[in-house]
Amino acid sequence: MTPIPLTAESIAVPHGFFTRAGGVSAGPYASLNCSLSSADDPAAVRENRARAAAALGVAPGGLVGLTQVHGPEVIAVDDPWGEDRPRADAMVTRRPGLALGIVTADCAPVLFADAEAGVIGAAHAGWRGAVGGVLEATLDAMERLGAARARIAAAVGPCIAQASYEVGPDLRGAVLARDPTDARFFAQASTPGARPDRWHFDLPGYCAARLATAGAGRVAALGVDTLAEEARFFSHRRRTLAGGGPIGHQLSAIALPGR
């Protein structure tokens, strides 16, 4: 089990975007399902999360997560809370020995670090959360902990890519209601049989642009499509197109080493 890293120049603290490989879950959850909200065997999920925590150099109890609700709320983490998770979509901390974990299955996981200040963050950015400002709110929360915005590196991890993400007028309307110039993140759908009111949305590009505009010092995007790579990633859209059924979620996490 090896998480996908960015370069040390991008985020100079332990971090990784884990794939679905390297765990103990079976069936549709095979194998590194890290979602505590799934119908998977809880013991398997705990083992999967412990393996991910170990890969980042923290104890199993040091990996914290959220009940993600597609909103802009950010939690400052002082102590691990176990499985009694707050409802929010981003976390920040300056406490060594903690890892901040986000689970996704097409939404964008975004990891943040100001290595000099010793402040990290992690955000779940579905389109609603991204439009609602969860990424900017994470930067703000990191600053309150002592980070300098110009030093913060942010990385957008594996998520659904524009070519795979056909959307309707409701999503496009919500994005453009905030800023009409964001029409640049939509391309008219050209798949056979596509209706004229369908577009392809560039979620990772949108997230990266929001971060850059908000003043993050460095912004990178992994450019990996979760829908297209079935062997490596869980995908909600792929599951929907296949007619439904249970699904796992991959983990993206960032840690501050213990002192």
Question: pLDDT (tens digit, 9 = 90+) per residue, 60-118?
Answer: 999 999 999 999 999 999 999 977 899 999 999 999 999 999 999 999 999 999 999 99
> Cβ distance 69 to 106 under 8 Å?
no
* Domain annotation for the chain: domains and CATH numbers: 15-165+204-255 (3.60.140.10), 166-201 (no CATH)
CB burial readout 24-43, b (16+ within 10 A) else e: bbeeebbbbbbbbebebeee
Residues 6+ apart with CB under 8 A from 10: 153, 155, 218, 220
Question: pLDDT (tens digit, 9 = 90+) per residue, 129-168?
Answer: 999 999 999 999 999 999 999 999 999 999 999 999 999 9
